[in-house]
Amino acid sequence: MSDKIQTLTGYFHEYGKSVTNPEEFWAKIADSFHWQKRWDKVVEWDFKGPNVKWFVNAKLNITENIFERNMYTLGDKPAIIWEPNDPKEQNQIITYKELFHRVNQFANAMKAQGVGKGDRVIIYMPMIPEAAVAMLACARIGAIHSVVFAGFSSSALADRINDCSAKMVLTSDGNFRGAKSIPVKPVVDEALEKTSTVEKVIVYQRTHENVSMKGGRDIWWHDAIDEVPDVCKAEEMDSEDMLFILYTSGSTGKPKGVVHTCGGYMVYTNYSFENVFQYSKGDVYWCTADVGWITGHSYIVYGPLLAGATTVMFEGVPTFPDAGRFWKIVDKYKVNQFYTAPTAIRALQAFGTDPVSPYKLDSLKVIGSVGEPINEEAWHWYHSHIGKGKCPLVDTWWQTETGGIMISPIAGITPTKPSYATLPLPGIQLVIVDGDGKELQGNSVEGNLCIKYPWPSMLRTTYGDHERCKQTYFSTFKNLYFTGDGVKRDEDGYYRILGRVDDVINVSGHRMGTAEVENAINEHPKVVESAVVGFPHDIKGQGIYAFVICDMEGRSEENLIAEIKETVNKIIGPIARPDHIQIVPGLPKTRSGKIMRRILRKIASKDTDNMGDISTLLNPEVVEAIKEGAKL
């Protein structure tokens, strides 16, 4: 691609063009892709509806832009390098030609089982190449994939199947994670007892454990592809046809299905990948995320493969068999760009530099951070010990809903500053507004982060509930997309993300709606009421602190707390299990009955010096009782 930013002057020049004439700017970038039919208009939009369309009436297939567009030059180049959980197991190096063969074959296998354009397919799989194959095969035939992180519980999986009326589930028998083998197919079986739309389940044999296979519904992956041809014509898709649905926690209990479409998502993920990471032909790139999250979609699968890059997929965890695993993989594959989460960096930092010192890490050119703002201490450790003080560190800010990176240094071009995401990418028009929606001009200001002009990879709706999309993102401030984050713009015009301003907790870079966790806690028969808040956590960034009113009759506090944690584990999954549960006599409420979370956040964060005026509460005395019982 010829649109890569080369200098800081070049960045400001491109940014200026993108704001003064966004349509011309994006049309030029989109021109480098293969379109079956060119667009009639670059963009149509209004944020009132909201109604956003990019590359109107254009026809394409995203997989043609990964394979056919690149096949003559890239056929024998590694597309995916897969590193298994166990370092003793054989890795896989899959060329573009081989990946094309696998994707076409599996696309035909799905068609043979009745899946076609517009059908929803749930992918509930470990970090194996077949997960990427499944995503691309869906895209090839126009089926809409919805990847669900394979650590979610059967209830969470059932909710997502039911919300999108999925026709097929793609899964595995089990999953290797560190020293453990985790059952996966039994979770799917349990989920399907609460659903009615799934007709077929295709199961990949990973752990070779005994699992039950239901006749007429369940098929082994190897049987599904047996003697299936590997030529599959790409389905013609409209630019605005759905590519995938990805569920994210909201501030209400029900997860919301964020919808991304074909054309704009393709253009933006490729553009942002090449620019942020300064990808060059021949580079080996590794993002450590799971495909169950948006980072895995945009920056393991679609962005890198559209760019013709070699992308590393890792099945395991950073500490198995020891805390040097990441660095061993970097040296093994001569990784050039490395992209991970602050949670992982902080966890590895706790082991000191001994696990790092055996490795050279001299292939690294760029290191990156994703999922949450990286704190200064972790930034310096990462920059010094992994980047050896010479690799630019791109601290990226974006969301499931934005589809791609929005604010980030351009590697080696934008001067960095610890804990700052720095500047917006070209095409991203940020505004900071106060509580009344008034724009705060100039530098050295702090407020709510909004975006005033659409960008190609933005969400189009929330699946089956457009009103929810409108209320969540477009109704807080008139004619603006509201990110839900607070932000500071410093004296240099750099942006620093201050965290969520709504009831969402960022646990290890994964957003958890407090209402979703509360709903799970409240399922326990002894729980009367609960309130969940986030608190600062050394490793995860934010932890989950639950204040719970219980019927204690005949129960010990210790056992009850363990049972509540297990209830959350069962309903949502281990990621939402509270770090602390405090049994309380009551919750601080306003006279209208609203829980004062501000007070609970202060108690959970051990910041109780200035509680503000609590005299207006319905029950001010309860605050002292909660403070007394708080123990961290």
Question: pLDDT tens digits for 539-561?
Answer: 988 999 999 999 888 889 999 99
Q: Tell me, what's the pLDDT at 44?
A: 98
Q: Tell me, what's the pLDDT at 415?
A: 96
Q: Tell me, what's the pLDDT at 414?
A: 97
Q: Dmax over Cα atoms in the chain, in whole Å?
A: 74
Q: 3-state SS of 68-128?
A: CCCHHHHCCCEEEEEECCCCCCCCEEEEHHHHHHHHHHHHHHHHHCCCCCCCEEEEECCCC
Residue 593's pLDDT band (cuts 50, 70, 90): low
- Distance, CA of 361 to CA of 369 (rounded, Å): 17
pLDDT (average), residues 209-234: 97
The DSSP secondary structure of 313-372, one letter per residue, reads EE-S-TTSSSTTHHHHHHHHHT-SEEEE-HHHHHHHHTT-STTTTT---TT--EEEE-SS
Contacts of residue 176, Cβ cutoff 8 Å, sequence gap at least 6? 84, 85, 86, 126, 182, 206, 207, 315, 316
Q: Tell me, what's the pLDDT at 193?
A: 98
- Distance, CA of 339 to CA of 285 (rounded, Å): 8
Burial 423-439 (b: 16+ CB within 10 A, else e): bbbbbbbbbbbeeebee
**Rounded mean pLDDT of the chain?**
93
Ordered domains of the chain (ranges, CATH): 504-629 (3.30.300.30)
Question: How large is the C-alpha radius of gyration of the chain?
Answer: 24
Q: Tell me, what's the pLDDT at 250?
A: 54
pLDDT at 251 over 60: no
Query: Do 135 and 297 meet the contact criterion of CB atoms below 8 Å apart?
Result: yes
Q: Give, as one character, the DSSP assignment of residue 51.
A: E
Question: pLDDT tens digits for 322-361?
Answer: 999 999 999 999 999 999 998 899 889 989 999 999 999 9
pLDDT (average), residues 607-614: 76
- Distance, CA of 512 to CA of 468 (rounded, Å): 17
Token pair for 42:
């670059």
- Distance, CA of 506 to CA of 372 (rounded, Å): 7
Read off the amino acid at residue 285. Y
Residue 151's pLDDT band (cuts 50, 70, 90): confident
Token pair for 49:
């509806």
Of 263 and 631, more confident: 263
pLDDT at 253 over 80: no
Query: Do 269 and 298 meet the contact criterion of CB atoms below 8 Å apart?
Result: yes
Strands 504-507 and 284-287: unpaired
Residues 279, 280, 282, CA angle at the centre, nearest 5°? 115
Residue 594's pLDDT band (cuts 50, 70, 90): low
Residue 70's pLDDT band (cuts 50, 70, 90): confident
Read off the amino acid at residue 104. N
Token pair for 206:
């990973």
Query: Do 175 and 317 meet the contact criterion of CB atoms below 8 Å apart?
Result: no
First to last CA, the chain: 52
Which residue spans within 355-467 are E strands per DSSP?
366-369, 393-395, 430-433, 445-451, 461-462
Which residue spans within 430-540 are E strands per DSSP?
430-433, 445-451, 461-462, 481-489, 495-500, 504-507, 510-513, 527-537
| Size of the chain, expressed as the number of residues it contains | 632
Read off the amino acid at residue 463. Y
**H or E element that contains 566:** helix 557-571
Token pair for 232:
């599959």
**H or E element that contains 138:** helix 129-141
Measure CA 555 to chain center. 39
Strands 256-261 and 180-183: unpaired
pTM: 0.87
Question: pLDDT tens digits for 86-131?
Answer: 999 999 999 999 999 999 999 999 999 999 999 999 999 999 999 9
Of 169 and 520, more confident: 169
| Burial (CB count <10 Å: 0-12, 13-18, 19+), residue 605 | middle
Q: Which residue has the tokens 């970090």?
A: 127
Q: Tell me, what's the pLDDT at 435?
A: 86
Of 616 and 239, more confident: 239
pLDDT (average), residues 577-597: 83
pLDDT (average), residues 273-293: 96
The CA distances from residue 448 to 33, 345, 438, in Å, are 35, 28, 10
Contacts of residue 51, Cβ cutoff 8 Å, sequence gap at least 6? 44, 45
Burial 361-383 (b: 16+ CB within 10 A, else e): bebbbbbbbbbbbbbeebbebbb
Q: Tell me, what's the pLDDT at 592?
A: 53
Q: Report the candidate in 246, 234, 273, 213 with the shortest Cα–Cα distance to residue 394.
A: 273
Measure CA 190 to chain center. 25
Contacts of residue 559, Cβ cutoff 8 Å, sequence gap at least 6? none
- Distance, CA of 137 to CA of 35 (rounded, Å): 19
- Distance, CA of 75 to CA of 97 (rounded, Å): 5
pLDDT at 249 over 80: no
pLDDT at 218 over 80: yes
Q: Tell me, what's the pLDDT at 507?
A: 87
Of 180-184, 456-460, 620-624, the poorest mean pLDDT is in 620-624
Q: Give, as one character, the DSSP assignment of residue 152.
A: S
pLDDT > 90: what percent of the chain?
79
pLDDT at 68 over 90: yes
pLDDT (average), residues 304-326: 97
pLDDT at 165 over 70: yes
Question: Cα-flanking dihedrals φ and ψ of residue 310, to 5°?
Answer: -100, 120
Token pair for 535:
């608190």
Alpha helices in 175-232 (DSSP H): 185-192, 221-224
Residue 406's pLDDT band (cuts 50, 70, 90): very high
Which residues partner with 505 through β-bridges?
Answer: 512
Token pair for 64:
């043609």
Of 589 and 157, more confident: 157
